[in-house]
Structure 1
Amino acid sequence: MKVATLNDGTPDGRLVAVSDDLTTQRACTEPTLQAALDSDRLVPAYEERPFAPALCAAPLPRAYQFLDGSAYVNHVALVRQARGAAMPGRFWTDPLMYQGASDGCLGPTEDIVADPAWGPDFEAEIAVITGYVPQGANRDQAAASIRYVMLCNDISLRALIPDELAKGFGFVQSKPASAFSPVAVAVDACPGWRDGRLHGTLSVDLNGAPFGRVEAGEDMTFGFPALIAHAARTRSLAPGTIVGSGTVSNRGADGGPGAPVADGGRGYACIAEQRMVETILTGAPRTPFLSPGDRVRIWMDDAEGRSIFGTLDQEVRAP
C-alpha cells in the first residue's frame, strides 16, 4: 500500500491511500498517518478520486522523532579525505547518527528557504517510518518495526556546520527542516526492498540537468535494521519515528571517488560530495552550493520506469 498526506490546512493533514500508479487516492478511516501508526491499522474507503502530488504535505508533517544516520560510509570517508583527516576505523562498525528537526517537516514541493551565505545543499536519502521499537531492540526486532519507506531531502547549511561542530554539541542551525516525498510505501509492498535496504536508482536533477543517478542499495554499510537498533540501544522509539539513511554515496568503478554524471559516472546525491571529489582530484572545489532560483528534483523509478514515491521538486528561495 502507498499512502500520502494531503495538505488540508491542519497541522497533520489528511491521510489517503494512493494507487500503485500514483493516479488515484482513497480516504482512510484513520484521519492521519500518525493515528494509523498508533493503532497499527489502515483501512481505505472504497471511493477513488484523482491524486494530485502537488497537494501533498510530507507523509508525516509532524513526526515524534527524526534520526538521520550516515549509512554510506564512503561519503564520510570522502569528507575526511578532502580535509586530510584520518578515517577512524570504528566508523565502519558503529553508525554515525544525529537527531534532526521533525516538528515541521517540509512537503515535497515546499521551497528551501536559505541565505546563500549559509551554503545551502540538498542531500538525497532513503528514509523509513517505524512502528514501536523497544529499548535494546536487536536487528531482527528493528527490521520488524519498519512500516513505510520514502525519500528524503535532508537539507544542510554547509557554511554553518564547521562552527557548530567545533562547539562539540552537534547540529542545530545547520540542519533545518527536511523534506519528504509525496508518497510513503508500505515496506512489504515496496519495489526493490530487501536485506533492510532499498535497491534502485535514486535520481537527482539540479536545474534540469542530471546531477546524480546513484544506486541506493550499493555501498550502504549499515542497513536500516542496524540504524534502528543503534538508535534504540538506550531508549524506545515511538510509532512514527523517521530514520534516514544519510546521503546516498557510491564508490567509483575503480573503488575510488565517483565521477559526475556528465563524465559517465553515477554522480552524487549532494553538492558537498562533488566538491569533495573536486578537492581530492584538483586541490579545490569548483561547484557552488545552492542559490535562490535553483531547483532540485529527487525521485526513484521502479524497473518498469514508473515512479515509486512521486517527486520532490523544490526551489531555493532567500529568507
Structure 2
Amino acid sequence: MRLATVNDRLVLVSEDAQTCVPAQSVSLLAALRGGSYAPDGDALALDPAQCAAPLPVSHTFLDGSAYVNHVDLVRRARGAEMPERFWTDPLMYQGCAVFEAPNAPILADPAWGTDFEAELAVITGDVPCGASPEEGAAAIRFVTVLNDISLRALIPDELSKGFGFVQSKPPSACAPFAVSPEALPGWDGARLHGTMCIDLNGKPFGRVQTGEGMTFDFGQLVAHAAKTRALPAGTVIGSGTVSNRDAQGGPGQPVADGGLGYACIAEQRTVETLAHGGPRTPFLTEGDQVTIWFEDTEGNRPFGDISQTVKHRAGHD
C-alpha cells in the first residue's frame, strides 16, 4: 500500500504513481487510529508536486541516530568525544512533529549553518509501554523518507545547555509517499535495504546504503522510544542520517572521489577537515537545490522525491 495526502485528503496511490483514489479515512492519522484505507471515489490524476507530507501533522516525532558513524563524524566536527555506550544505547531526541511538503523551501539564515540530513522514517500503530524490539518492529505500519534540517551553527550552544535540540531543528520535509513495509522489496522486518540518493545543485552528493552500518534497527528504535511510555498510533520515528563507513572502516569518500558520499554536508566537511586541515564544502546558501530520493533493490523510487530550494529567511540579513 502506498499513500499520500493531496488537498488535505488521504489518497491511495497507484503502482505507477500516475493516479490516486481518495481513501475512506480523511487522513493518515485517522486511518491509523482505526479508520479505513478502503477506496472511496474515482481515480484521479496524481501530481506529486501537489502532495503534502503523507502525515503533515503528528503528535510525536522521535528522531534517532541509528547510523553511529554519523554521530562519530559530526561530534568530531565540533570537537566532542563520542562515548563508547553510543554503540549500545541509541541516541534519540523529540523533534518538531509538523512535516513540510516535499517541495517546501528551506528557509535559511546565512549565519545558521543550514544542512540537509537524508534519513528513513517509520510511522507506527499503537505501541505498548515496554515493547520489545520484536513488538516494535511489528508495530511499524509505513515507511517514508525525511529531510531532517539541521542548523549546525546553532547546535553547539543549544546542546551545551544540556537540554536537547529546539531552535537548531526546524520542521523536516517528507517524501510525497508513505509505503507499507510489505510493499518494499528491501524490507527485512526491521531494516530497509537500498540506496539513499542525494543530489546538491544537480550533482551527486550521496549514494549511501540504508541497510549497511545501521547499528540499531527500527524495531530497536521503537522499543527504545517505548521504554517508559506507550506510543500512540501515528508516532514517527526517524533513523537519523544514513551513513556508511568505507571498506577499510574509515569515514568514506565523497562521490566525486569515487566513494558513496554522504547524506549531509557536515560529514563531508569533517572528512575534508581530516584530509586537508579544514572544510571546503559550504553549508547551504540561497538558491541551492537539494534533491533526495530512495532507490529500492529493484531500482524503483517508492517514496518519490524530495526537491527543495534554499531561500533566505525574511527579516534576517
Q: Give the TM-score band, short-chain normalised.
A: over 0.9
Match of 1:50 in 2: 45
Contact 2:23 2:36 in 1 (8 A): no
* Residue from 249, 252, 258 that aligns with 1:255: 249
Aligned pairs for 1:86-101 (under 5 A) are 86-101=81-96
Aligned pairs for 1:85-124 (under 5 A) are 85-102=80-97, 104-124=98-118
Tell me the TM-score normalised to structure 1 length.
0.95
Deviations 1:165-211 (A, max 9, x none): 11111111000001110000011212211140110011000000000
Match of 1:299 in 2: 293
SS, match of residue 197 in structure 1:
coil
SS, match of residue 307 in structure 2:
strand
Say if 1:90 and 1:40 are closer, same or farther in 2 by CA, change over 3 A.
farther
Contact 2:25 2:35 in 1 (8 A): no
- Cα distance in 2 for partners of 1:164, 1:313 equals 28
Structure 2 residues not aligned, in runs of 5+: none
Aligned residues between the structures? 313
- Cα distance in 2 for partners of 1:27, 1:142 equals 29
Cα drift, residue 71 of structure 1: 0.2
Cα drift, residue 31 of structure 1: 0.6
Instruction: Point out 4+ residue stretches in structure 1 off by more than 3 angstroms.
Output: 80-86
Letter paired with 1:150: T
Match of 2:5 in 1: 5
Deviations 1:203-227 (A, max 9, x none): 0000000000000010000000100
Match of 1:209 in 2: 203
Contact 2:53 2:101 in 1 (8 A): yes
2:183 is the counterpart of 1:220: no
Cα drift, residue 49 of structure 1: 1.6
SS, match of residue 159 in structure 1:
coil
Deviations 1:17-65 (A, max 9, x none): 0012211101111111111000154112362221111001111110111
Structure 1 residues not aligned, in runs of 5+: none
Tell me the TM-score normalised to structure 2 length.
0.96
Say if 1:138 and 1:311 are closer, same or farther in 2 by CA, change over 3 A.
same
2:75 is the counterpart of 1:80: yes
Aligned pairs for 1:1-319 (under 5 A) are 1-6=1-6, 8=7, 13-39=8-34, 41-45=36-40, 47-102=42-97, 104-319=98-313
Cα drift, residue 302 of structure 1: 2.9
Contact 1:191 1:302 in 2 (8 A): yes
Letter paired with 2:121: A
Cα drift, residue 85 of structure 1: 4.1
Letter paired with 1:251: R
- Between the aligned residues of both structures, percent identity stands at 62
Say if 1:163 and 1:86 are closer, same or farther in 2 by CA, change over 3 A.
closer
- Cα distance in 1 for partners of 2:285, 2:77 equals 23
Say if 1:64 and 1:298 are closer, same or farther in 2 by CA, change over 3 A.
same
Contact 2:193 2:296 in 1 (8 A): no
